[in-house]
């Protein structure tokens, strides 16, 4: 029986008896504690909710910080790659190759565009090396094959040929044969194309 039930059952007795000053003080203190004491289960539940909320908040802040950091790095590289200076674009390619481990689709798409459209051979060659970090990426493989079909600069042609040979990309056989059969193809490019076809047959 708790204090409240005891008071209700002995109300008449309490009304007719006088209490000393000390007894009254003790009585009031016990009554106050009894009436306002929270249930243990509720306290545990509230503590659990508080801890869980704190964990969620910390996780959310950490995740937001990481996203902001990645976004800032991506924007920086994209800005480098879009610059009018070939040297700056080259720096952007190297920055991506050195600092990015995971695939960034926006940067990869930009690099593929550079591979097809950039006027600077050195930028294209560096771009191929950067793309080869992700040899299983189908979009990159297809883009290398298409680049080989339209590329006219011998140094870039050779770089693409060696890359497709490294990737064991059998779909490159037809463009390689076209290069070999093209009378305008430089002899050194033809030699590399012939070697690549032989390696793909192995």
The C-alpha atoms of residue 138 and residue 196 are separated, in whole angstroms, by 20
**pLDDT digit string (tens) for 61-78?**
554 555 455 578 899 999
Instruction: Please say if the pLDDT value at position 179 is more than 70.
Output: yes
Which helix (H) or strand (E) element contains residue 76? helix 40-81
Domain locations along the chain: 21-102
Stretch 134-157: mean pLDDT, rounded?
A: 96
Instruction: Please say if the pLDDT value at position 12 is more than 60.
Output: no
Nearest CA among 18, 19, 38 for reference residue 27: 19
pTM above 0.75, yes or no: no
| C-beta of residue 154 within 8 angstroms of C-beta of residue 189 | yes
The C-alpha atoms of residue 122 and residue 90 are separated, in whole angstroms, by 8
Higher pLDDT, 187 or 22: 187
Indicate the pLDDT class of residue 134, thresholds 50, 70 and 90.
very high
């Amino acid at each position: 029986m708790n204090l409240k039930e005891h008071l209700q059952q002995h109300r008449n007795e309490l009304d007719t008896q006088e209490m000393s000053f000390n007894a009254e003080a003790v009585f009031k203190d016990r009554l106050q504690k009894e009436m306002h004491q929270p249930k243990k289960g509720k306290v545990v539940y509230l503590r659990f909710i508080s801890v869980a909320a704190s964990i969620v908040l910390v996780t959310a802040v950490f995740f937001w910080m990481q996203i902001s950091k990645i976004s800032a790095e991506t924007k920086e590289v994209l800005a480098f790659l879009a610059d009018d200076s070939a040297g700056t674009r080259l720096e952007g390619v190297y920055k991506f190759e050195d600092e990015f481990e995971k695939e960034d689709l926006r940067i990869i798409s930009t690099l593929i565009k550079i591979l097809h459209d950039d006027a600077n051979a050195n930028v294209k060659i560096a771009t191929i090396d950067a793309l080869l970090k992700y040899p299983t990426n189908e979009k990159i493989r297809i883009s290398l094959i298409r680049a080989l079909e339209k590329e006219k600069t011998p140094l870039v042609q050779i770089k693409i040929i060696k890359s497709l040979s490294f990737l064991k990309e059998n779909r490159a056989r037809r463009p390689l044969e076209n290069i070999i059969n093209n009378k305008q193809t430089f002899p050194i490019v033809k030699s590399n194309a012939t070697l690549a076809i032989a390696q793909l047959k192995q």
